[in-house]
Amino acid sequence: MNSHGVREGPGVSSRKGMDTAHPHPAPTLPSDVEAHFEYYARHKGRHRTPRAKASHVLTTDDSRLTNPTSRLTTDDSRYFIILDPEFIQNRLHVRTILHLCIILLAIILSPHMLSAQTTPAAFDLQGHRGCRGLMPENTLPGFIRAIELGVTTLEMDVVVAGDGMIVVSHEPWMSADICTQPGGKLITRDNEKSFNLYKMDYAAIQGFDCGMKVNPKFPDQKKMPVVKPSLKMAVRMIRSFAEDNKHPQPRYNIEIKSDPKDYNVYQPEPAKFVELVVTEIKRLGIEDITTLQSFDPKVLEELNKVAGHKYKIAYLVESGKKLKKNLDLLTFKPDIYSPEYNLVNEQTITDCHAMGIKIIPWTINNIVDMDRLKAWGIDGGITDFPDVVR
């Protein structure tokens, strides 16, 4: 192994299927060739290129060169020079050496330059409410599982408790579908909204279980006793888990659950709601890796008013109006347009990109739908099943 972690010696090659030994001994590299190669490797570009060794030189009669496409082989660790034995024996003229080095440098740099020009931005795979198809929604175990499955962003919802705590929850009440009262007593459709989180302190909210009841929409969810976490609790746990287990830190896509008919009943007015959430994400140190989203244009307008904000703003769209009519409801251009996936066609994506807006639909739970939307050019997708829809 050399200092670059590359095995050295005759016949070593990184190409799969290539013979590991060649019948001709590697020629001795003339010192002037080696010196010029070392100079270009040291002075040209940011890519680390190992010093040429005799073992890195192929001769033109080497058996590995029978395939024309193998005449010059590169990988991330080393590069090969093809030289004619007789030409080497007669030494190289300075001009030829320089030409050789320039050609080699171009070959070294061109894959990186091409990659930079053609590689699209990474697809943003978002775990909806963690990974709702597999684990209880908007819970710590759900977020952990989503990280393990490789999502780039954790999508979640937040509401406000009576004591001002930001709570991770899809509804501003205890849903009859997923929650039970302290002691296990059932919550019904008739009384679920009486358990108003905006009127409860967070300590009282923690007395309700939201993981043991079978969710009728996701019968394969793993059941476990869990409570609605605060945003602070969720972020600290997520950060710690990712760091301890060598996972990349995820981004956050936080929906501010807001409905005009619920102002001052189940939630604060938009300005106050935004103030509480923005203050919290800044305190937690995640503003620059967070998208704040909402269906409520008034919330989006308040988000856009925050001077110098680092978070992205996403416009959630559920049904009805087309792209232009939806955007006309705002006085600014959002960073992301996030419609229900079945509202998206290829033209929608083209129009968004023409305006410099990313498009990340929700909730895509079928691999066929995801593949079609990816082919059209969506920038990301939100899914309940990050184990299946990638």
Residues 106 and 162 in one domain: no
pLDDT greater at residue 239 or residue 22: 239
Residues 95 and 217 in one domain: no
Residue numbers of the domain that contains 36: 31-118
**pTM for this entry:** 0.71
Residues 178 and 267 in one domain: yes
Which stretch of 98-102, 107-111, 239-243, 288-292 has the lowest confidence by average pLDDT?
107-111
Q: Quick check: is 2 in a domain?
A: no
Whether 383 has a pLDDT exceeding 90, the answer reads yes
Final residue before a domain boundary, out of 93, 118, 143:
118
Q: Which residues of 221-249 are buried (b: 16+ CB within 10 A; e: fewer)?
A: beeeebbbbbbebbbeebeebbeeeeeee
Q: CA torsion, points 99, 92, 81, 107, in degrees to nearest 10?
A: 0
| pLDDT for res 15 | 36
Residues 195 and 326 in one domain: yes
The pLDDT tens digits for 132-165 are 999 999 999 999 999 999 999 999 999 999 999 9
| pLDDT for res 100 | 62
How many domains does one find in the chain? 2
Q: Quick check: is 307 in a domain?
A: yes
Residues 104 and 132 in one domain: no
Question: Mean per-residue pLDDT for 21-34?
Answer: 42
Whether 304 has a pLDDT exceeding 70, the answer reads yes
Residues 130 and 112 in one domain: no
Share of the chain above pLDDT 70, in %: 69
| pLDDT for res 390 | 77
Whether 43 has a pLDDT exceeding 50, the answer reads no
| pLDDT for res 278 | 98
| pLDDT for res 85 | 46
Residues 90 and 226 in one domain: no
Q: Quick check: is 389 in a domain?
A: no
| pLDDT for res 22 | 42
Residues 174 and 157 in one domain: yes
Residues 324 and 175 in one domain: yes
| pLDDT for res 101 | 57
Final residue before a domain boundary, out of 118, 141, 166:
118
